[in-house]
Amino acid sequence: MRRLFHVTAVAGALVLALGACGSQKDTGFNKLSTPKATGGGGGGATEIKLVTGNAFSPKTFNAKVGQKVTWDNTDTQQPHNVVSDAGLFNSNPDCVNDQTKCMAEGPQFSFTFDKAGSYPYYCQIHGSKGGNGMAGVVVVA
């Protein structure tokens, strides 16, 4: 009778110890899985915006070789497209003849620049080659 009580007490202590151990283990796991804020990735703008007033912002965009540049249309008041002066890219070739085929709202067009250089472009509705009107340049280095 007395011995049985002793065994029960030990078993109870063991359960408590295991329980404590288990909760400690959970805490450790949660700590490990907590996502850490990283310092990288803050290297400036990755997009060129088409803004109200028929302009590209920033007008001169600096990119690295191999970088994918995205044009984000935030102006729903006017039809726009993005056309390279050198014919390298054209977001919406039919935009000039049919304005329903111009750029929709949002980040609708991207181009990856594989070589260093200066790449002027313009909107065919509000600008022209040579940096006139709604125009910009991507400088790749």
Which positions touch Cu ion (CB under 5 A)?
Answer: 80, 123, 125-126, 134
User: Which residue's CB is nearer to Cu ion, number 96 or number 139?
Assistant: 96
Nearest 5°: CA angle at 92, between 60 and 108? Answer: 65
**Minimal distance in Å, beta carbon 54 to Cu ion?**
5
C-beta closer to Cu ion: residue 48 or 134: 134
Smallest gap from residue 78 Cβ to Cu ion (A): 6
> To the nearest whole angstrom, how small is the minimum distance from the Cβ of residue 75 to Cu ion?
8
Whether the CB-CB separation of 82 and 91 falls below 8 Å is answered with yes
Give the residue with the Cβ less far from Cu ion, 88 or 125.
125
Tokens 């990755």, residue?
46
- 8-state DSSP, 37: P
**Nearest-angstrom CA–CA distance, 60 and 57:** 8
Place of tokens 């990288």: 40
In the complex, the smallest distance separating the C-beta of residue 55 from Cu ion, rounded to whole angstroms, is 9
